[in-house]
Amino acid sequence: MTEPITAAAIATILVQELAKSSAGEAGKKLVGDLWGAIARRFKGNVAAEETLAAVKAEQLPEARQEAARDLETFLRREMKDAGFAAEVGQLAQQIMNLDQSQRSTTMQQDIRDQGKGYQIQSDRIDRLGDDYGKS
């Protein structure tokens, strides 16, 4: 059995996934579900709602990290409720599983006749064939 997901992990997952623009439909739905569960829980808590607005609005990596820390503080308090902790933990785990399965896909490409090729993954681009024929 896996360890329960912490408030810090959930905040980090949510902030990172909101920053991504390449999530597939399944990922977008799961992130939306997680966002909705958290937003419903914090409805009426002005400080928490402001933190959620900051999480969604931040573009700079440093600002996103600060927003994630603020969100973690609110989540830690609310996750004392086992039902809420289970709901958001399950959604976060599904997002992590989906993200892992997308990253673990195998990329293969044949390059012939001194051609150049590109392999693209959401977090990197590799240019292949530059060293062909160099010794």
Residue 82: alpha-carbon gap to chain centroid: 23
Beta-carbon count within 10 A of 98 CB: 18
What pLDDT score was predicted for residue 15? 83
Beta bridge partners of 79: none
Q: What is the C-alpha separation between 129 and 103, in angstroms, rounded?
A: 23
Q: Which residue has the higher pLDDT, 38 or 114?
A: 38
User: Which residue type sits at 69?
Assistant: R
Confidence of residue 132 (pLDDT cuts 50, 70, 90): very low
Q: What is the C-alpha separation between 17 and 26, in angstroms, rounded?
A: 12
What pLDDT score was predicted for residue 20? 72
Q: What is the C-alpha separation between 47 and 33, in angstroms, rounded?
A: 21
Question: Which of the residue ranges 16-20, 40-44, 49-53, 102-106 has the most confident prediction, judged by mean pLDDT?
Answer: 40-44
Report residue 101 as tokens: 């399965």
Closest to 79 in 3D by CA, of 120, 31, 38, 24? 38
Query: Would you list the domain boundaries of the chain?
Result: 7-103
Instruction: Give per-residue pLDDT as tens, 81-104.
Output: 999 999 999 998 888 887 666 655
Q: What average pLDDT does the segment 99-111 reach?
A: 57
Inter-residue contact 31 to 95 (CB < 8 Å): yes
Give the number of C-alpha atoms closer than 13 A to the C-alpha of residue 35, restricted to the C-beta side. 16
Residue 119: alpha-carbon gap to chain centroid: 22
